[in-house]
Amino acid sequence: MTSVDKTASDLFANLGLNTVKPKSNSGEMGQDAFLELMITQMNNQDPFKPMENGEFLTQIAQFSQVSGINELQNSFAQLAGSLTSSQALQASGLVGRNVLVPSEIGLLPQGGALRGTVELPMDTSQLVLSVVDASGEVVRSIEMGAHSAGDVAFAWDGITNAGTAAAPGRYRVRAEFQTGEHSVAAQTFVTASVDSVTIGGAGQGLTLNLTGLGQVDFAQVREIM
């Protein structure tokens, strides 16, 4: 690793970021090897059987393409570097922030509340939220009443149906809404804190490391708070 690479890595680490290096492809032929192979081929041609004009023009075109491809690769490398720097700045601003992501699992923090939203596809006369612990037991059922279609916010303070305080940790949140005589499951989103951000290679984007939830693609984030 060069001193520049080390400095960049140290900077990302101080910002709470990680970088993923793309794997190198040792099987690709470099430009020098490609040119050497072509020159060797031309030097060993039978002088009494010169190449056809079409073959010769093809060889010349290949020579020019090598230079053009190399310049194009350098341009893409510079663009990738700029995008990575932009991602690093964006990612550094996410560390310590709360985000809203699609999940049935949420974290009840010590002295806090498990928060999120329910996405209602239609109006309902009754929305019910169920909080389930690791053993599968429903520790709290919350009747949220009638709501119009859209996002409905919720917050569970950790108090169980028995009136006792639940232990901090991970809980599953299930939402069901009434439509006619049937109950239908609804999509839930939970709020989580960003511990760190991993910057992937080209085209891989950002991966958020969330407290209690693990890794989530940045593209899945619905809201940054």
- Residue 116 and residue 184 share a domain: yes
Whether 74 and 151 share a structural domain: no
Per the structure, the complete domain to which residue 79 belongs is given by 1-12+32-42+52-92
Q: Model's pTM, two decimal places?
A: 0.64
Measured CA distances, 33 to 25, 29, 56, 102 (Å): 15, 6, 20, 50
In tens, the pLDDT along 93-106 reads 889 999 999 999 99
Average per-residue pLDDT in the chain?
80
SS3 annotation, 72-112: HHHHHHHHHHHHHHHHHHHHHCCCCCEEEEECCEEEECCCC
Strand partners, 185: 176
| Number of folded domains that form the chain | 2
Q: What was the pLDDT predicted at 181?
A: 86
| Per-residue pLDDT, 216 | 93
Does some domain include residue 177? yes
Of the candidates 208, 211, 144, 155, the residue with the CA atom closest to the CA atom of residue 178: 144
Q: Which of 78, 101, 69, 128 is nearest to 208 (CA)?
A: 101
In this predicted structure, the answer to whether residue 153 has a pLDDT above a threshold of 60 is: yes
- Say whether both 74 and 164 belong to one domain: no
* pLDDT of 72: 67
**What's residue 15's pLDDT?**
53
Comparison of pLDDT for 3 and 95, the residue scoring more: 95
Please say if the pLDDT value at position 191 is more than 80: yes
CA distance 69 to 197: 33
| Same structural domain, 128 and 167 | yes
Tell me: the pLDDT tens digits for 107-148? 999 999 999 999 999 999 999 999 999 999 999 999 999 999
Looking at the fold, whether 109 and 220 belong to one and the same domain comes out as yes
pLDDT band per the 50, 70, 90 thresholds, residue 74: confident
Helix (H) or strand (E) holding 11: helix 3-14
Confidence class for position 218, pLDDT limits 50, 70, 90: confident
Which residue in 73, 103, 97 sits closest to 206, CA to CA? 97
Which candidate, 181, 59, 65, 184, places its Cα nearest to that of 122? 184
Pair (151, 77) in one structural domain: no
Angle subtended at Cα 104 by Cα 210 and Cα 98, rounded to the nearest 5 degrees: 35
Domain assignment of residue 20, yes or no: no
- pLDDT tens digits for range 9-63: 555 555 555 655 555 555 555 556 656 666 666 666 555 555 554 555 565 566 5
